[in-house]
């Protein structure tokens, strides 16, 4: 929702998110405690949270935050389990996304971890531009590993390797996850992959056979990061991932009829979704 200019009514957001809470997903990234000037669409996140009925779901809530103030706002809500922070290994994107350098972002991570520890929350660090960037900033697998190890030493235990612009390939997906997962069994690694309509399956397969068991997606692949660049490939379509994982017995809690219901609501939330 975050990249849409027309404001989605709070009631519409609540209805759509409530349908997702019924499906059986492990975690729902439901909103952001960020500057309303930067992301106006997320200005009503606290109101949305108040409107959600969590009594019949096991799905945990994740909120995106961009600094300590956002972390404190999110941490004040008992319903939220995870604080998600986008840590970019591209200096250009870190400035665009959170108005901070990488060094400043490290300080923010330290503050966020302290707030999370005090409020019984968990921190999810998204390694943004984890598979490359369009800005000419240095990137290679060793740089990714360097930052993961540094953040792990600070206390981070959950990472989502993020392909914000859809440049990942089966080869670098394999290499990253096969380098990290066996070496750091105490750490949970996830895949936040963007994709074109024809490459989603090879990317998911590469991550899955490399040991990844945490995957992000969005119904019909709609959305993206408005701070990345003008032309984005889509988010990973959640319904495609369900189709891939279901025969493997990897998603026993997913209720397919409820997923179909959530899919039927997408066009009422995202007018241009097919």
Distance CA 176, CA 78 (A): 34
In this structure, how many other beta carbons lie within 10 angstroms of the beta carbon of residue 118? Answer: 10
- State the number of CA atoms in the 13 A half-sphere of 88 facing the CB: 26
Per the DSSP assignment, residues forming a β-bridge with 237 are 218
The full length of the chain comes to 274
Other C-beta atoms closer than 10 Å to the C-beta of 250 total 14
Q: Which one from 42, 89, 125, 225 is the annotated catalytic residue?
A: 225
Burial of 261: CB neighbours in 10 Å, binned 0-12, 13-18, 19+: middle
Assess whether 212 carries a catalytic annotation: no
- For residues 81 and 121, what is the distance between their CA atoms, to the nearest angstrom? 5
Contact 172, 131 (CB under 8 A): yes
Q: H/E element holding 70?
A: helix 68-75
Can you name the residues that pair with 162 across neighbouring β-strands?
A: 192
Q: How far apart are CA 84 and CA 158, in angstroms?
A: 10
Report the catalytic residues: 225
């Amino acid at each position: 929702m975050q990249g849409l200019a027309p404001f989605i009514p709070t009631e519409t957001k609540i209805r759509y998110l409530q349908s997702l809470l019924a499906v059986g997903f492990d975690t729902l990234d439901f909103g952001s405690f960020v500057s309303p000037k930067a992301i106006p669409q997320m200005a009503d996140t606290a109101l949305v949270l108040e409107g959600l009925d969590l009594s019949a779901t096991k799905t945990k809530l994740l909120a995106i935050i961009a600094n300590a103030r956002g972390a404190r706002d999110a941490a004040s809500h008992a319903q939220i389990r995870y604080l998600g922070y986008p840590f970019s290994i591209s200096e250009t994107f870190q400035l665009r996304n959170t108005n901070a350098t990488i060094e400043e972002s490290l300080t923010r991570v330290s503050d966020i971890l302290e707030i999370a520890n005090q409020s019984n929350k968990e921190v999810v660090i998204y390694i943004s531009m984890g598979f490359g960037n369009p800005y000419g900033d240095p990137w290679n697998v060793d740089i990714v590993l360097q930052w993961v190890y540094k953040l792990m030493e600070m206390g981070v235990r959950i990472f989502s390797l993020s392909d914000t612009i859809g440049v990942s390939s089966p080869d670098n997906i394999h290499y990253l996850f096969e380098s990290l997962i066996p070496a750091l069994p105490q750490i949970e690694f996830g895949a936040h992959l963007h994709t074109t309509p024809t490459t989603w399956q090879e990317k998911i397969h590469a991550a899955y056979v490399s040991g990844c068991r945490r995957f992000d997606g969005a119904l019909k692949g709609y959305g993206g990061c408005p701070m990345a660049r003008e032309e984005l490939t889509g988010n990973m379509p959640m319904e495609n991932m369900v189709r891939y994982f279901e025969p493997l017995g990897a998603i026993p809690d997913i209720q397919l009829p409820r997923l179909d219901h959530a899919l039927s609501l997408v066009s009422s939330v995202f007018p241009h979704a097919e």
